[in-house]
Amino acid sequence: MPFLGQDWRSPGWRWVKTEDGWKRCEPFSPALEDGNNQLNDISHTVIITGDDENEEVYNTEDCEFAAKKRKKDHFRNNTDSQCFYREKWIYVHKESTRERHGYCTLGEAFNRLDFSSAIQDIRRFNYVVKLLQLIAKSQLTSLSGAAQKNYFNILDKIVQKVMEDQYNPRLIKDLLQDLSSTLCILIRGVGKSVLVGNINIWICRLETVLLWQQQLKNLQMNKQVNNGLTLSDLPLHMLNNILYRFSDGWDIITLGQVTPTLYMLSEDRQLWKKLCQYHFAEKQFCRHLIPSEKGHIDWKLMYFALQKYYPIKEQYGDTLHFCRHCSILFWKDTGHPCTASDPNTCLMPVSPQHFIDLFKF
């Protein structure tokens, strides 16, 4: 039987993505290794302290102990010299194996995929918010204590970002509304449902959510003063092209409230028809036809009517991807050290709902 070292269950080396491909990342810098060598030399010397009359000679074991202690102090006081690389991907496994003990959890995924930094990226912001909203609706009671802390820490950073940048407050208001409704139901029905944690903690969290809602309600948009070219100065065909780039009907309505010209363009029947065709199938149109007073189909009302019955197509700047060959979940632009011959054929985009389903056991 072959001998297996004491660290045979370890995840292995750390890898970093470079222009020349994936390379193994060394745990410490060369300068730090030189310091380690100097500290190692201490264990081979004899330390003599005191005067000549009361000299005390330490044996080799004491020297090794002193050297280890100095190493710990050296690492603790020189954290800048360390160059650990943190991967932004996670291996998804749902059962224990000889190589991996236990299974990955939702809280672990929050840390490894670095959602706290993802919300600072405008391409990932909507994806993370949608994911937190789905968790608030259905998976809140299944979160562990660590996952709860991660969840509300990320939510706190999202609210602070919106308060500072005024970025997409409507999306955060919907998230907090769903979260407060769920918390009210769980707190009122305590005993009927299983809550991880003390009931007083959940009451404090509900109060925090209500405070966030009040802050967003009182949010005042900063009026930017710009003497250069503004949105109103663009030609009509360019403004029309901008409106056709929106995939959310509420964004079109909000933009139409800026100027009378944008309002006229936002009421275009062809614009709302294209939006309905993008999100819904023709069979769904036939079930919810809404004619206008002139006998034409009111595509604007059609869009909001269909939105109540059918989910709209999700569109994000950057999403998580799952590698079927490696069973690794990662951000698309970050990548992972794939061992497949053709990695592109193994990739599968992961929607927020699919992400939650991956961690259901």
Q: 9 lies in a domain?
A: no
Q: 56 lies in a domain?
A: no
Token pair recorded at residue 276:
């309905």
Name the residue among 278, 274, 257 with its Cα closest to residue 266. Answer: 257
CA–CA gap between residue 276 and residue 285 (Å, rounded)? 9
Residue 317 has pLDDT above 70, yes or no: yes
Question: Contact, 266 vs 272, CB < 8 A?
Answer: no
Task: Look at residues 309, 326, 342 and tell me which one is the last residue of a structural domain.
Answer: 309
Please give the pLDDT value at position 356.
Answer: 84
Q: Are 210 and 272 found together in one domain?
A: no
Q: For the chain, how many structural domains are there in total? A: 2
CA–CA gap between residue 103 and residue 113 (Å, rounded)? 16
Q: Are 173 and 260 found together in one domain?
A: no
State which H helix or E strand residue 14 sits in.
Answer: strand 14-18
Q: 203 lies in a domain?
A: yes
Q: Residue for token digits 């491909």?
A: 21
CA–CA gap between residue 201 and residue 149 (Å, rounded)? 11
- Residues 6 or more apart whose Cβ sits within 8 Å of residue 136: 175, 178, 179, 182
Q: Are 274 and 178 found together in one domain?
A: no
Better pLDDT: 82 or 243: 243
Q: Are 139 and 196 found together in one domain?
A: yes
Residue 297 has pLDDT above 90, yes or no: no
Q: 93 lies in a domain?
A: no
Q: 341 lies in a domain?
A: yes
Rounded to the nearest integer, the mean pLDDT of the chain is 75
Q: Are 286 and 254 found together in one domain?
A: yes
Domain membership of residue 301 as a residue range: 248-309
Q: Are 270 and 324 found together in one domain?
A: no
Token pair recorded at residue 22:
């994936």
Please give the pLDDT value at position 157.
Answer: 92
Q: Are 298 and 349 found together in one domain?
A: no
Handedness of CA 254, 259, 265, 267 (dihedral sign): positive
Q: Are 150 and 200 found together in one domain?
A: yes
Q: Are 200 and 341 found together in one domain?
A: yes
Q: Residue for token digits 């009451």?
A: 203
The b-or-e profile of 299-328 (16+ CB within 10 A means b, else e) is bbebbebbbeeeeeeeebebbbbbbeebeb
Q: 184 lies in a domain?
A: yes
For 262-278, the pLDDT digits (tens) are 999 999 989 998 998 88
Q: Are 216 and 137 found together in one domain?
A: yes
> Cα-Cα-Cα-Cα dihedral of 171, 172, 177, 182, to 10°?
110
Q: 139 lies in a domain?
A: yes
For 146-191, the pLDDT digits (tens) are 888 889 999 999 999 998 888 888 889 999 999 999 888 888 766 5
Q: Are 145 and 278 found together in one domain?
A: no
Full-model pTM = 0.66
Per the rule left: phi > 0, alpha: psi between -120 and 50, beta: everything else, 167 is beta
Q: 46 lies in a domain?
A: no
Q: Are 293 and 322 found together in one domain?
A: no
